[in-house]
Amino acid sequence: MKTLIFLILEGLALFTVSCGQAGKEEESKERPAIGLYAEVIPAKELLFAEDDIISFNLATREIIFTDVAAKRLSSCSFDGYSTSMNLFLNGERLFKSAIYLVCGFSSFRIDDLVFYRSVEEDSRYYLNDGYPLDIYSDEIRKIREKNAQKRKIEWNTFVDHLSKADKIIK
């Protein structure tokens, strides 16, 4: 029984770590020296780059990706606590904390930065200050607002960079 559980966990780990390999046939991506890109932890594989981003909506925080990037992202494991990414700008980490990859099937709350994938057929992606996106408690709202304030400079840098690239929707 222990062997079966180990094999299942090992298989999940390989799937999680190798999500950056999906879609390599369509497009081989390199980390840009200049610009924005995201890397899966711990594999350090490229998840997406700035040229994969079509737009970022300031109100909803939805990121719209090219079809090739969306296909690559759809094969990744978005399981929250064991899968995360770092976001880089010009080779330097943009956000000090890791960003959790979360999907709509998740049953737990995260009050930290998340890259969220919806569960609809045409998955939508959001960069947000917590999951679930809907907040029903003043206590949770206060925690997230406090955490967002800690990242205010990083958020502003992210938005300014995408604004200069004409990728912001207001």
Which pLDDT tens digit goes with each residue over 25-50?
444 467 787 789 999 888 888 999 99
The average confidence (pLDDT) of the chain is 81
Return the pLDDT at 108. Answer: 82
Residue that wins the pLDDT comparison between 29 and 159? 159
Residue 101 has pLDDT above 60, yes or no: yes
Q: Which residue has the higher pLDDT, 5 or 104?
A: 104
Tokens linked to 10: 């090992």
pLDDT, position 19: 59
The structure's pTM equals: 0.79
Quick one: pLDDT at residue 29?
64
Over residues 103-132, mean pLDDT: 86
Q: How confident is the model at residue 149 (pLDDT cuts 50, 70, 90)?
A: very high
Overall average pLDDT of the 93-105 stretch: 90
pLDDT value of position 80: 66
